[in-house]
Amino acid sequence: MAAPDRYAVFGHPVGHSRSPWIHARFAVLTGQSLVYEARDVPAGDFDAALSEFLAAGGKGLNITLPHKLAAHAAATRLSDRARRAGAVNTLAVQADALLGDNTDGAGLLRDLRDNLGLDLAGRNILLVGAGGAARGVLGPLLDAGPGRVVVANRNAGKARQLAADFAAGGRVTGIGLEAVQGPFHLLINATSASLADEVPALPRDAVGPASFCYDMAYGTGPSAFMRWAAARGAAGCADGLGMLVEQAAESFELWRGIRPPTTAVLTELRALQERP
Ligand code: NDP
């Protein structure tokens, strides 16, 4: 019997990653034979670790901090969405290329639309943050046809630059956090503030009674941003666990040519996260 195909996630730190669990569940539910491991690859070691993985017959990788730019540079072919994002979170070994893709934006959009039932067309969206995650999702957000997207960041210059880079894709402006004037239909927290249990310093009126607040971060229980939004009367809140599962499903489909079921896996994962 042939050995199972090998996949991995490279990151630093990576011990907390749920990706091995998610892909193992996808493999069982789709009847695919594969192994998927988390590998701690310190900054600067990405190229050597990639060469070793490919030489050992590895078929595909997920890439997380701090390697998304190194993966972009290592790919010999880029998908349109990876080129637009300027970062790669998925590598796939193909017959004639090492394909770099970015599934973060598609994962977010699937979670917002399919899992949470949100309609983005014509809506006003506040995207908070201007780092790699914000850059990865801005193009797909603009493709959804919102009324406008405001990118707000602590470092206002980075928000302005991000908005300028995507100006051809729709109505988007970049500002500092203090200049935000709400309320917005949808607020997306793409900062890493929640990881330190902090909330970006947004004005109070950013949130109104019809606002939905989405935090890309996930953990145990509601994040600081979700608690902040609920205290200001937001209509609803969600964390980024659904995005995590949906972006993984996009990677899995790229590698295996089969779309895994995400609803059941998200339900199981949430129960696992909330177990004491
Ligand atoms: P980066 O390090 O590239 O960017 C961090 C961003 O957060 C910057 O805009 C930074 O602002 C801002 N920031 C950090 N701390 C604060 C604070 N206290 N107040 C205001 N702004 C702050 O990180 P990423 O873009 O890669 O990741 C952002 C988040 O998205 C993380 O929580 C990550 O876990 C999550 N994520 C979730 C995914 C999922 O599948 N659910 C997928 C990818 C990412 P400044 O520029 O001013 O420093």
The answer to whether the beta carbons of residues 190 and 127 sit under 8 Å apart is: yes
Q: Mean pLDDT over all residues of the chain?
A: 96
Lowest-confidence segment of 55-59, 131-135, 250-254 by average pLDDT = 131-135
Atom 6 of ligand 1: nearest residue by CA position: 191
- Select which of 23, 59, 67, 68 is catalytic: 68
Rounded distance, CA 151 to CA 84, Å? 17
Above 90 in pLDDT, residue 3?
Answer: no
State in Å: Cα 142 to ligand 1 middle.
19
Distance of CA 180 to the CA centre of its chain: 23
Which of 215, 11, 196, 240 shows the shortest CA–CA distance to 129? 215
Query: Mapping DSSP to helix (H, G, I), strand (E, B) and coil, where does residue 225 land?
Result: helix
Q: Residue 266: CA atoms inside 13 Å, Cβ hemisphere, count?
A: 23
Give the model confidence (pLDDT) of 142-168 as tens digits. 999 999 999 999 999 999 999 999 999
Rounded distance, CA 110 to CA 247, Å? 9
- What pTM, to 2 d.p., does this model score? 0.96
Rounded distance, CA 100 to CA 46, Å? 14
Ligand 1 pocket member 63 (CB < 6 A): no
Residue in 19, 191, 214 to alter for ligand 1 test, most ligand atoms within 8 A of Cβ: 191
Q: Is residue 68 among the annotated active site residues?
A: yes
Atom 32 of ligand 1: nearest residue by CA position: 192
Question: Which sign does the torsion angle of CA 62, 260, 272, 28 carry?
Answer: negative
